[in-house]
Every structure is written in structure tokens, then in C-alpha cells.
Amino acid sequence: MSSFKANIQKLGRAMLLPVAAMPLAGLIMRLSADDMLNIPVIGAAGNAVFGNLDILFAIGVTIGFAKTKDKGIPALTGFLAIATLKKGLEIMNPAVSMGIFGGIISGLVAAWTYNRFKNQKLPMVFSYFAGEKFPLTMVMILQTITAVVFGFIWPIIQTGIDSFAKLLVDMGAFGVGIFMFLNRLLIPFGLHHVLNTYVYYDLGSYTSPSGEVFRGEMTRFINGDPQAGLFLSGFFVVMMFGIPAICLAIYRAAFKENKEMVKGIMGSGAATSFIANITEPVEFSFMFISPMLYVVHAFFAGLAGFVCYLFNIRIGFTFGACIVDYLINFRIATNAILILPIGLVFFALYYFTFYYLIKKRNIPTLGREVATEFGTETIEEEEKELTLASKNYEYMAKKLLDAFGGAGNIADAYSCNTRLRVEVLDSSVVNEQRIKQLGVSGIIKPTEKNYQVIVGLEVTYIMAEFDKLIENQG
């Protein structure tokens, strides 16, 4: 079970790699449209991304699971895996289209093939094809078999997936509400990406005037499907109004002597959500302190999706459900103006509910907690540097690595949008209290040897320094 959880975490992380290419692709596709700049050659770059999602996911998943620092050969293995599968399916059953699921399966097969055969020895005459090159041969053989198998069984699986999608769609507002509720609820476990992937990139089908077929709420909306966007519109209410309201409630509920500090942190959190669609720094500031508050938040998110569906609001995003996508996609959306009054209502709902619960139940949110003393080993000069606010990312990375037991205790380390994810060899030497002293938003331990440190947008810079330290000490 522990291994299963760890692999699910890796799968969620691997899916973020191809997603990184989508915000800009979506923006340029929208800006190059006929009703805006009308420059098709710019839009072609966006189509290159959204027209090859299966390939991107195959490469991303392979890189995520390949056990090596140099990801070049694994990436090529992932490409060969999806290319072989697609060509094989064309022969087996031309009607089969596995979409991103084909990419994910290909990535998993490619990663397993690479990890299993990367050190393969061959007779001297074939030595050129041995070692890291051997998986390139093996993956084509394995994926040919995969194509034969899925040529027979995928129509059955696809029927099941379509039934699930139809169930969500047939449930109408309730289906959208359930999706958004689960989307928020799964964030603490890092599994929301798995759920999002299906809805964003595989739910529903749309054939454009040019004859191209697009799947997924996000992809269909960007490519002009007037029916897409119902599953996405509620996120604008949450990101642009709900999260800022939570920030205001936490600030107002803070003790007087802490208000200035909380104002800066929560103000930044509200702006980040409104402008960049990044919510985890705010959500992790209270989800473990008060799971009740977080369930309320998830319920309100589901309610936002429910209400937006009832008002037939259809608007999508690629950069995120923030002011950027709202303004750019406003002209092709349906009833997008209603996001504003609905958002104001939810702002009030979020604010008064959170403020009341924090005060009534004396929840120790930011600015209300009992001060935690640094350990006796922390000297005064160190305390000045020992926070994210210092922007000394090299120092932060060094202290994090020390708290995890040094480079020799790191089995794997990577980052996503806001989290530093670390797998250790021996969890008994990890100093969790020391990590908390570094000014991070929180720590999640999904399995015995896996940690997720909630850092925020600065995680990219800390991860870069973290990698350097591991490489130098390794």
C-alpha cells in the first residue's frame, strides 16, 4: 500500500510536466484567433501542444518514473512507446483512440522498460545496442504487444469511461459540484491532478470545422466548442473571490500584534490566487490546523460549480481560473459576466463563514497560533536567515537537506507548482520540527518515506539549489 501511494504521488507529479507547456499554448491560441489578432501561424504553436497531448503525457510520465538523473534516453523511450502504440492501434482497430490514457500507459511501460533494461548486457557483436540503448529496442516490442491487447480490450474500457463521463454530465449541476468538491478535497493528498487530467483533457468530444477531434473540457473550449466550460467556470469563483475572502478572514481574525505580518502573507496569497491561480500556500495554511475549515472550503467550491452550472456559465482556461484567462476568454465564453456578481456573493459567504468559525472555535490560523520556539541549537544570526522571507534560497535548501538527513538519505527529490517532494531512505533521521521552522506552509507525509513540503511559488528556486547540493555531496 505504501508503494502504491508513492507511485500515485509520482504519477500526479509526472502529469505536471506536460501541463507546464499548456498555459502559454492556450494563451497564444486564444490571442491568434480570428476575433483577436488573427495570426494563424502563432496559433499553430498552441495546436502543436494540444494536438499532441498523448505524446506529451507519454514523455512526461516516462521522465517522472525513470530512475536516472539523465532523462534524455527515457524521454526518447517514451516517445517511441506512444508512437509504436498509435501505429499499432491503427492496424488493430482504426476506431480506437486512447487519447491521454494511451500516453499515460505508454509512459508507464516506457519507464518500466528503461528501469528494467538500462543495464542490459549483450554479446559483443551487439554491444552498441546494449545498456541504455537497449530499452529503445525493447519498448517497441512491448508496445506492439500492448497495441494488440488494447486493440481488443480498449473499446470495452472506453465504454466504461464514457459511461462515467455520461453519468457526470447527466447529473448536471450535481455532477459539476461533485467534481469541484473532490478537486479541492484531494489536494492534501496530491491526487487532484489525476482527477483533473480526465476532466480537462478527455471528457467529451468536439469536432472542429476543420475536421479535427478534440477531447476534454479545457481543450474543447479553447478550440471553440460552445458546449465546453461548464466543468471549469466554478473555478473562477473560487480562485478570484473565494481564496481572497479566506485570506481576508484569516487576516481579520489574527491577533493585533500579528496583523502586519499576516497582512503581507495573506495579501500575497490572495494576489497569487487572483492573478496566477495558485492557491496551495493559502489552503495549506489552514487545512491541517482545521480539517473542518478545509471541508467547508471544498463544499463551497462544489457549491460554486453547482451555481455556475445553473446559470449556464461556460468559460475555460489554460493559464488558470484567474483574471488573466477570464479577460482573454471573455469574448468566447457564455454568460461570463455573471462570474462577477456570483463571485461577490461567494466572497461574502467565504469571508463571514471563515471569520465566524475561526473566532467561534478559536482556530489557531496564521497570526493566532502559539509562538513556536526555535530549538536551542538555533543561534540568533541563523534565525534571521531561517525563513522564506529572507529569499536566501541556497541557505534554505541547505537547511532543508540537513533536516532530511543529508544527501545520502535522499532517494528522490522533485518539485511541482508549490511543493518540494522528497523521498528518503530512512525517515527516522528526518527532523520535521526543523523543517517547520523554515517558514514553510506545512508538511505532508503521504507514506512513511515520502514528504511534501509546502513552500509556495519559490519552490522552483529552492529545488534548483537543493539539486545542486545533492549533486555536490553525492
Catalytic residues, which ones?
Answer: 416
Strands 213-215 and 205-207: antiparallel
C-alpha torsion 279→280→283→288, nearest 10: 170
Amino acid identity of residue 246, one-letter, is I
Residue keyed to cell 486564444: 30
Q: How far apart are alpha carbons 460 and 466 in whole angstroms?
A: 10
CA 50, 51, 55: angle at the middle one, nearest 5?
Answer: 90
Q: How far apart are alpha carbons 435 and 465 in whole angstroms?
A: 16
* Residue 348 to residues 165, 194, 343, 355, 423, Cα–Cα distance (Å): 33, 31, 9, 10, 41
Q: How far apart are alpha carbons 31 and 155 in whole angstroms?
A: 37
* Residue 77 to residues 64, 107, 137, 138, 150, Cα–Cα distance (Å): 13, 8, 9, 9, 20
DSSP letters along 436-453, please?
Answer: HTTT-SEEEEEETTEEEE
DSSP letters along 258-295, please?
Answer: GHHHHHHHHHHHHHHHHHH---HHHHTTTTTT-HHHHH
DSSP letters along 147-189, please?
Answer: HHHHHHHHHHHHHHHHHHHHHHHHTTHHHHHHHHHHHHHTGGG
